[in-house]
Structure 1
Amino acid sequence: MAKVELKQPIVDEITALLADAQALVAVDYRGLTVEEDTQLRKTLREAGVTYKVYKNTLIKRAVAGTQWEEMAKVLEGPTAIAVSTEDATAPARVLFEASKKMPKLELKAGIVAGTFYDDQMIKVIATIPSREVLLGRLLGSMQGTIASFARVIKQIAEKGEDTAA
């Protein structure tokens, strides 16, 4: 069996992983201990993020000609990719938080919602709360406004009753 035939299923696996992805972040995991790596994988899994280590050449083949193609320029040295299909900021957020506790974990770059970001911009994206948190804040602010409006209407109605009596 030729080497290409052995590698094609892995390229197909990466392609399938990226098919419905909203975000992809690449990291250099060199120097992490087994305990740190295990904790990182657990945290990512809990956030709904897929974390895999592939050979750079296989990742480059899988992203060629796709919206993820710009990632090829940062694929040097040991690389792991974190992919999310649900929350576009989750990979950046979890990896950035982990890098604070694990200084050897280095963010390389990422693509979020079709846009390429370098390591510094990925750190900025990591500060954006999840979609659920943002929706909760929006709903909270809307409820506060509605509640204030209801109190004003009630006070006007009560004032109208007092003047009518």
Structure 2
Amino acid sequence: MNRHQKEAAVGNLAYEFSEAEAVYAVDYRGLTVAQISELRARLLQNDTKLKVVKNSVTKLAAEKAEVTSINDELSGPTALAFVRGDAAASAKILSGFVKESDNKLELKGGLLNGKPLSTDDVVAIAKLPTREVLIGQLVGLIASPISGTARTLAALLSAVPRQLQQVADQGLVGGGAAAPAAEAPAAEAAEAPAEEPTAEAPAEADAEAAPADAASDTDSTEE
């Protein structure tokens, strides 16, 4: 690699450092070429690039990107996984490949948002739920009250016809309401005779007047 090629490689790698959400360093010396290709393909599905670069070039690129803490992981053959996708998902892929390869692939640490990670940190990240799972859980929490409200409204709406039917059966709506109106004239007719004493009042007055006249006649006769 001549000077121009090295400068280009450093520039490209520095760009990867600056764009990555996380960077995981692994020791790949026990893997075959076929296994490295398989691992690279799996990581690409999560928008993660696996790059095998000389440590000297990586150190220059890290210095240019101002992430020199990664230099602590650059001993022996080292490949770097530059994660632009889900950091937990890529950590799971690497951790799974460690087991699948009978520990021929080794985790070494890395960076997360520019902060250094130990090997234990990478293992811990691999145990976290993926972003997709977390989003699903969040949607479930948001939808849960909505679905509960929907079920409540459905129950209330389904109860309305039953309640209306019960009211109708009791004669409070529909044809039953007309009966009290029809009975009203009969009640008024039954109460009408109560006014007749008014018409008899003159007769009673005449009857009372007659004894008075008779008394007057008696008085005049005695005189």
| TM-score grouping bracket, smaller chain normalisation | 0.7 to 0.9
Higher strand share: 1
Identity %: 33
* Pair 1:31 & 2:30 matched: yes
Alpha-carbon distance, 1:24 to partner: 0.3
In structure 1, the partner of 2:93 is 94
In structure 2, the partner of 1:146 is 146
Letter of the structure 2 residue corresponding to residue 62 of structure 1: A
Q: How does 1:27-106 map to 2 (within 5 A)?
A: 27-64=26-63, 66=65, 68-102=67-101, 103-106=103-106
Letter of the structure 2 residue corresponding to residue 92 of structure 1: A
Counterpart CA distance in 2 for 1:52 and 1:6 is 16
Counterpart CA distance in 2 for 1:139 and 1:84 is 25
Alpha-carbon distance, 1:163 to partner: 5.0
For structure 1, the 5+ residue unaligned runs are: none
Q: Is the 8 A contact 1:88 1:113 kept in 2?
A: no
For structure 2, the 5+ residue unaligned runs are: 168-223
DSSP-derived class of the 2:87 partner? coil
Counterpart CA distance in 2 for 1:29 and 1:6 is 24
Counterpart CA distance in 1 for 2:33 and 2:2 is 30
Counterpart CA distance in 2 for 1:117 and 1:46 is 23
Letter of the structure 1 residue corresponding to residue 118 of structure 2: D
**TM, length-normalised to structure 1:** 0.86
Question: Which deviates the most, 99-108 or 64-73?
Answer: 64-73
In structure 2, the partner of 1:135 is 135
Letter of the structure 2 residue corresponding to residue 154 of structure 1: A
Name which structure has the greater RCO, CA cutoff 8 Å, separation 6+. Answer: 1
Q: Is the 8 A contact 1:11 1:58 kept in 2?
A: yes
Counterpart CA distance in 2 for 1:59 and 1:3 is 16
Counterpart CA distance in 2 for 1:69 and 1:160 is 70
Alpha-carbon distance, 1:100 to partner: 1.3
Counterpart CA distance in 1 for 2:77 and 2:86 is 25
DSSP-derived class of the 1:77 partner? coil
Letter of the structure 2 residue corresponding to residue 12 of structure 1: G
